[in-house]
Amino acid sequence: MGWGDLGAFGEPSKETPNLDQMAAEGMLFLDFYTANPLCSPSRAALLTGRLPVRNGFYTTNGHARNAYTPQDIVGGIPDSELLLPELLKKAGYVNKIIGKWHLGHRPQFHPLKHGFDEWFGSPNCHFGPYDNRERPNIPVYRDWEMVGRYYEDFKIDLKTGEANLTQLYLQEALDFISKQQASKQPFFLYWAIDATHAPVYASKQFLGTSQRGLYGDAVREIDDSIGKILNHLQKLGITENTFVFFTSDNGAALISAPKQGGSNGPFLCGKQTTFEGGMREPAIAWWPGHIPAGGVSHQLGNVMDLFTTSLSLAGLQPPSDRQIDGIDLLPVILQGKLIDRPIFYYRGNELMAVRVGLYKAHYWTWSNSWEEHGKGIDFCPGQSVSGVTTHTQEEHTYLPLLFHLGRDPGEKYPLSFASEEYQRAMERISGLVQQHKATLVPGQPQLNVCDQAVMNWSPPGCEKLGKCLKAPESDPKKCFWPH
């Protein structure tokens, strides 16, 4: 989803009454970011509280390339990383992930090996259908074992867009919450639904209900589900000790628009880019009785903050043996404080841009290559800002392009290099960037090697279902990341 996909954030069909209500009862974050404009690294950052360049969710196969975890990826979340559920366990939490994991699908990367107690969902995107010869269909797991595959046991009709997955994920969520409440155990639920990711889907009852087409149907179903989850918490009487946060893992994928892509509101470009449209996210914190209703925060926030904030809520300290990039947002949420902190915009192994206060400095600009663009792959459809949405990687490290996001949220008007304002702002930003770079210890890159042998041929449990497939011979290669 993108920043502009919710009514509360100005989506013109205003079809998210439950999320809008959640915002009215909670706190809206207007300046909230992901750690990366792509799914896997963003999710790895959320669960580790660390930038992908630290936790290994990046590639060095090319400069400033987006990478993720397709079926043939060899890497995944390293054991050395400490995930939020692993830490929450120490405080007695039961942890469940529902939906897309995306931190690696080989056995050692299984979510139940990284702190989760339960899982219902899939390790990869719901791409397909595949022929199970060149490429297997993506499995769906319950806990340790697969229970079927997409397009086989879990239907997705690519023609109509019908799939009942969000309903399955919703029921899983409600059941888990009920169960934990019955046993009086504290819980952490990571509800990682993916209906707005192409191929976009919605249940029959939501198909055709949106002004916005199939994408809007998917948004409506997610909105409806979130309403049901919050309502469930209310019915169980546990809203006052349940903290809920809604956000997205990257900006709307404008390449999939208009049929399968959402809105980044007034911001530039979308998913895959380090412009605001790729990285600024809708975000709402909800905790009745604690968070003042109708609050609006300009805190620069990041998905990595959810790691630190959740630990704080559980009375835990973040690990002290490693650099944690997330900050504790509780003073912001509960006391309305503003914490001064930069936002780093990475694309793969490169720091593309930095936001400090209302200023954003671009050290590198790139949308995608001319070659890709010529094939119709466009991350900025209908938008073109000369010298900014460039189709070659443009270096500005010696004289960064500087934007004032208050006056110019769309990143259209770089400040004059000669202006006093430029000098003043860059002085501060340069210091922060130097410090960041000087102390950065990059992790071992996990997204460099691909091998068809590691695909989901025979996930655990396949034998019970008669769904084991024969893997081809191992043939490790450098993964190809085009943008």
Q: Which residues are catalytic?
A: 39, 102
Query: Pick from 129, 186, 331, 381: which binds a second copy (CB under 8 A)?
Result: 381
Contacts with a second copy in 85-144 (CB under 8 A)? Answer: none
Q: How far apart are CA 164 and CA 156, in angstroms?
A: 8
Question: How many angstroms separate the CA atoms of 362 and 426, rounded?
Answer: 11
Burial of 293-315, coded b for 16+ CB within 10 Å and e otherwise, reads: eebebebbbbbbbbbbbbbbbbe
Q: Is 250 labelled a binding residue?
A: yes
Could you say whether residue 407 binds a second copy (CB under 8 A)? yes
Of 130, 66, 126, whose CA–CA distance to 102 is shortest?
126
Question: Helix, strand, or coil here: 404?
Answer: strand
Residue count of the chain, please give it: 483
Q: Which is nearer to a second copy, 174 or 361 (CB)?
A: 361
- Measured from the CB atom, the residue of 11 and 117 that comes closer to a second copy is 11
Distance of closest approach, residue 108 Cβ to a second copy, in angstroms: 42
CA distances from 120 to 97, 138, 140, 182, 199 (A): 7, 13, 7, 20, 20
Positive or negative CA dihedral for 93, 99, 101, 107? positive
Taking the complex as a whole, how short is the minimal distance between the CB of residue 252 and a second copy, in angstroms?
Answer: 11
CA separation (Å) from 236 to 8, 170, 288, 463? 27, 16, 14, 39
275-334: which residues touch a second copy (CB under 8 A)? 296, 298
Q: Note whether 10 binds a second copy by CB under 8 A.
A: yes
Which 137-196 positions form the footprint of a second copy (CB under 8 A)? none
Annotated ligand binding at 125? The verdict is no
Could you tell me the two tokens for 129?
């259908």
What's the min distance (Å) between Cβ of 139 and a second copy? Answer: 33
Stretch that binds a second copy, among 57-65, 111-119, 180-188, 209-217 (CB under 8 A): 209-217
The one among 25, 31, 72, 249 contacting a second copy by CB under 8 A: 31
Residue (30 or 432) nearer to a second copy, CB = 30
On the CB side of 32, how many CA atoms lie within 13 Å of its CA? 30
Of the pair 250, 263, the CB lying nearest a second copy is at 263
Instruction: Give 446's contacts (C-beta < 8 A, 6+ positions apart).
Output: 56, 57, 58, 73, 75, 76, 77, 78, 104
Minimum CB–partner distance for residue 443 and a second copy (Å): 33
Cα–Cα distance, 423 to 426 (Å, whole number)? 5
Q: Which helix (H) or strand (E) holds 41?
A: helix 39-48
Work out whether 391 is an interface residue with a second copy (CB under 8 A): no
Does 406 bind a second copy (CB under 8 A)? Our answer is yes
Nearer to a second copy (CB atom), residue 30 or residue 147:
30
The closest of 108, 112, 128 to 120, measured between CA atoms, is 112
The residue whose two tokens read 């102390």 is 439
Residue from 375, 412, 464, 477 touching a second copy (CB under 8 A): that is 412
Between residues 92 and 258, which has the closer beta carbon with respect to a second copy?
258
* Stretch near a second copy under the rule CB under 8 A, chosen from 67-75, 327-335, 378-386, 441-449: 378-386
Q: CA 246, CA 467: separation in Å to the nearest integer?
A: 36
Annotated binding-site residue? 249: yes
Least distance (Å) between residue 172 CB and a second copy: 30
Rg, the chain, Cα only: 21
- Choose between 208 and 472: whose C-beta lies nearer to a second copy: 208
Sign of CA dihedral 138, 143, 148, 150: negative
HSE-up of 290 (CA within 13 Å, CB side)? 16
Site string for a second copy, 232-271 (x = CB under 8 A): -------------------------xxx---x-xxxx---
Give contact residues for a second copy (rule: CB under 8 A). 3-4, 7, 9-14, 28, 30-31, 210-213, 215-216, 257-259, 263, 265-268, 296, 298, 358, 381-385, 404-410, 412-413
Annotated binding site for Ca(2+): 39, 249-250
